[in-house]
Structure 1
Amino acid sequence: MFKIRPAERGDAKALTQLMHQSSAYGGNYASILDGYAVTPAQIDIDVFYVADLQDDIAGFYSLTLADEPELDLMFVADHAQGTGIGAKLFQHMAAEAKRRGIPSIKIVSHPPSVGFYQRMGATIVGTKPPTMKVTWARPILNLAI
């Protein structure tokens, strides 16, 4: 069984490894993570929670609280896919947003993840055009809290 707990500064390396080992970001999608690392400072600033499975981080999310609150990162380890951890993390994120009085969350989605977010109640509201680094369009979703 797993528990959801706040991320700690010392988790930064494990979160970065989890992201870079994700098969969801292989092939053409790998470029989005090139050179990216979760930092202890980022954990201090944003809302980070991890799914801790017997002292193994099996997934995590981060929520930015800037002008437009956004689900910045959400990853589930390959070995934990299909266990319900992703849904529990998402539900936790929504509850945390509600607790903080946030009315809605923006989600710029990895294209293969759109169906998951829709099943969790988010709706597509637009598309983020490709950039030099991210060479594909990404769906933008909104989750009303």
Structure 2
Amino acid sequence: MRFIIAIIASVMVFIGIQTIIPFPYGLVLGVLFATVALWYAKSHPSTAKDSILNYRRVDPINEREKKQNDEALRVLEKKYIEEKISKEEYLQRKKDFEDTEYNPRKCSICGSEDFEFVSEKRIEEIGEAPSDVGYYRCKRCGAK
């Protein structure tokens, strides 16, 4: 999506520069700007909204996050069944899921596994699901 927007913006600016600046200079600046814009869009790809990497919680601490991981694992299995990913990739990602689920996070002070997420701010981007920025706090002792 970002690449398509960069192409459209490059064409518009290229035509705008051609109409304002005389021939040889407008052509050079227009091509230069278009090249820089397309290079930037290609070298900074955005992660797809429906990517498993965006959907999976690395350290699930409550039932909602565990259900979210179960759904991400279901999506992974679906991709394997539809042959969108290889068996090796499927097994590796599934192992990553299981390692996360069965090795829960523990508090370094009291050893508790019971955490809560403390939101510091909410990020809402157009076309993407809102997400929170914050940290996890131990429910027993309050440590980060």
Q: Give TM-score, length-normalised by structure 2.
A: 0.26
Higher helix share: 2
Flag the structure with larger Rg. Answer: 2
Name the structure where strand makes up a greater proportion of residues. 1
Q: Which has the higher contact order (CA 8 A, sep 6+)?
A: 1
TM-score if structure 1 supplies the norm length? 0.26
